[in-house]
Amino acid sequence: MADRPVRWYILFDNYEQGLALHALLDEHSLPNRISPAPRCLKEAAACGMALLIGADVIESVRACIEQHSGEYRVILPVEGQLLSHRDKYC
């Protein structure tokens, strides 16, 4: 598991929705980064932008979203998605 950490992606209907949630999480000091939606989640994603959330804060993020009725499409985990030495460019 340590070699293949799980990261969570929040997917959106459009980037405006994504930016609103990004602002909400920032406001509550919950770590999140704007990221392209991973290709493996293509079927679930409606827009190219996602929010990347670490496994250590996902429950706090969910709670914040619920409390503030934050809008999103779906939250999904991806295992071992990011590899700095993969050397697959485009």
Partner 1 sequence: MADYVQMWKDLGMDLESHDVLCSVLPTAVGDVFMTQQNRPKAMDFWDLVISEVHGIRPAELIEEQKKGRKVFGTFCVYVPDEVVIAANGIVTGLCGGSQFWVPGGEAVLPKSTCPLIKASVGARLGRTCPFFRIADMYVGETTCDGKKKAYEILGEDVPMYVMDVPQMKRPEDIIKWKNEIAAFAKKVEEFTGNKLTPEKLNEAIKLVNEKRKALARVYNARKSECLPISGRDALLMMQIAFFDDPARCAQMCNRLADELEQRIKDGVSVVPAGTKRILVTGTPLAVPNWKLHNIIETSGAAVVCEEMCTGTRYFENLVDETKTTLDEQFMALSERYMKTNCACFTPNTGRIDDILRMVKEYKVDGVIDCSLKFCCLYDTEKYSVSRALKEAGVPILSLETDYTDTDAEQLRTRIGAFVEMLDG
Q: CA-CA distance, 60 to 69, in Å (whole number)? A: 14
Residue 56's identity, in one-letter code, is D
- List residues binding partner 1 (CB under 8 A): 13-15, 19, 22, 26, 33-39, 42, 45-50, 52, 81-90
Task: Give the residue with the Cβ less far from partner 1, 34 or 66.
Answer: 34
Question: Which residue number, 38 or 70, has a Cβ lying nearer to partner 1?
Answer: 38
What does the alpha-carbon distance between residue 87 and residue 73 come to, in Å, rounded to a whole number? 31
Q: How far is the CB of 67 from partner 1 (least distance, A)?
A: 23
Q: Is 12 exposed, middle or buried (0-12, 13-18, 19+ CB in 10 A)?
A: buried
Choice between 39 and 66, CB closer to partner 1 = 39
- The CB-of-37 to partner 1 minimum distance in angstroms stands at 6
